[in-house]
């Protein structure tokens, strides 16, 4: 009895018995029931799958890791249609496609104000879309592009009062291309009008408006008849060759 009592005194520390304390610790679940430090088989399989797929993809898109693709003598460019009107296979590119493409490049000079959309900036720069100046004849447009405009100036019922710069430093071809571009892209043209302005027409315009020394006022531009077109023959949209003798070809 005396020894039994002795034991209890040894186990008891303060109010909690050391045996009870360890019992509660033993009841807890271990952190990794599957065994410490192992990775589930499904994770391994998934990783292997991703590595194999990824490696295969890399291999097939890098030409089998061969360095020959980086050596320029093995480089074979895909043939592009030439700008001259036909590509290697003889497929014709219509003249008008190139003409308006070049016009779009010249239009880069205009987007700061009239915007790539041709909608302008309300209150500051007028739109080309829905503008009676773009929809009308080419004489007014030729005059505007060559010598610019000094506001106030009305477009589609709205008044603008800034300076439209003169573009007479651009050659006749470039001005003809940009007018063609804005008419075909943003204009709503009269029946039978293909929107094209040619280099010859701009040459005539430079002549016709050579007396103008300052940017146009609205009144001066209104004095040019709205539907007046620049002189010059129409061209075949496929070939760019002149058709007819200066007069629009009658249809039907």
Within 60-99, the residues that bind ligand HEC by CB under 6 A are none
Spatial contact of 204 and 232, defined as CB atoms under 8 Å apart: yes
CB of 218 to ligand HEC, least distance (A): 8
Q: Of the two residues 55 and 122, which places its CB atom closer to ligand HEC in the complex?
A: 122
Site for ligand HEC in 104-163 (CB under 6 A): 109-110, 112-114, 125-128, 131, 133-134, 141, 144-145, 149-151, 153, 155, 160-163
Of 113, 210, 184, 116, the closest CA to residue 153 belongs to 113
Terminal CA-CA length for the chain: 133
Inter-residue contact 230 to 204 (CB < 8 Å): yes
In the complex, least distance from residue 99 CB atom to ligand HEC, rounded to whole angstroms? 15
Residue closer to ligand HEC by CB (options 99, 160) is 160
For ligand HEC, give the closer residue by CB, 96 or 178.
178
Nearest distance from C-beta of residue 140 to ligand HEC, angstroms:
8
Q: Is 182 in the site for ligand HEC (CB under 6 A)?
A: yes
Q: How far is the CB of 226 from ligand HEC (least distance, A)?
A: 13
Q: Which structure tokens are listed for 20?
A: 């009870």
Query: What is the distance between the alpha carbons of residues 197 and 63, in angstroms, rounded to a whole number?
Result: 50
Among 81, 137, 165, 231, the residue binding ligand HEC under the rule CB under 6 A is 165
Burial of 100 (0-12, 13-18, 19+ CB in 10 A): buried
Per-residue burial over 122-146, b = 16 or more CB atoms within 10 Å of its CB, e = otherwise? eeebbbbbbbebbbbbbbbbbbbbb
The contact set with ligand HEC (CB under 6 A) reads 109-110, 112-114, 125-128, 131, 133-134, 141, 144-145, 149-151, 153, 155, 160-165, 167, 178, 182
């Amino acid at each position: 009895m005396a020894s039994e009592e002795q034991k209890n005194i040894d186990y008891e520390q303060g109010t909690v018995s050391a045996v009870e304390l360890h019992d509660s610790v033993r009841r807890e679940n271990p952190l990794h029931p599957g065994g410490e430090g192992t990775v589930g088989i499904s994770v391994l399989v998934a990783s292997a799958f991703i590595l194999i797929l990824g490696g295969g993809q890399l291999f097939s898109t890098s030409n089998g890791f061969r360095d020959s693709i980086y050596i320029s003598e093995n480089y074979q460019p895909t043939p592009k249609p030439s700008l001259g009107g036909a590509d290697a296979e003889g497929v014709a590119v219509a003249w008008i496609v190139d003409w308006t493409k070049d016009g779009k490049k010249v239009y880069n000079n205009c987007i700061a104000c009239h915007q790539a959309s041709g909608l302008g900036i309300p209150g500051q720069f007028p739109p080309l879309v829905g503008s009676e100046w773009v929809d009308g004849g080419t004489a007014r447009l030729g005059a505007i592009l060559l010598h610019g405009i000094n506001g106030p100036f009305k477009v589609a019922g709205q008044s603008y009062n800034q300076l439209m710069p003169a573009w007479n430093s651009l050659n006749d071809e470039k001005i003809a291309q940009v007018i063609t571009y804005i008419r075909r892209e943003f204009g709503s043209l009269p029946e039978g009008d293909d929107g094209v302005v040619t280099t010859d027409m701009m040459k005539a315009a430079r002549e016709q408006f050579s007396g103008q020394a300052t940017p146009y006022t609205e009144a001066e531009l209104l004095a040019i008849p709205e539907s007046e077109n620049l002189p010059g023959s129409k061209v075949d949209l496929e070939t760019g060759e002149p058709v007819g003798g200066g007069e629009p070809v009658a249809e039907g």
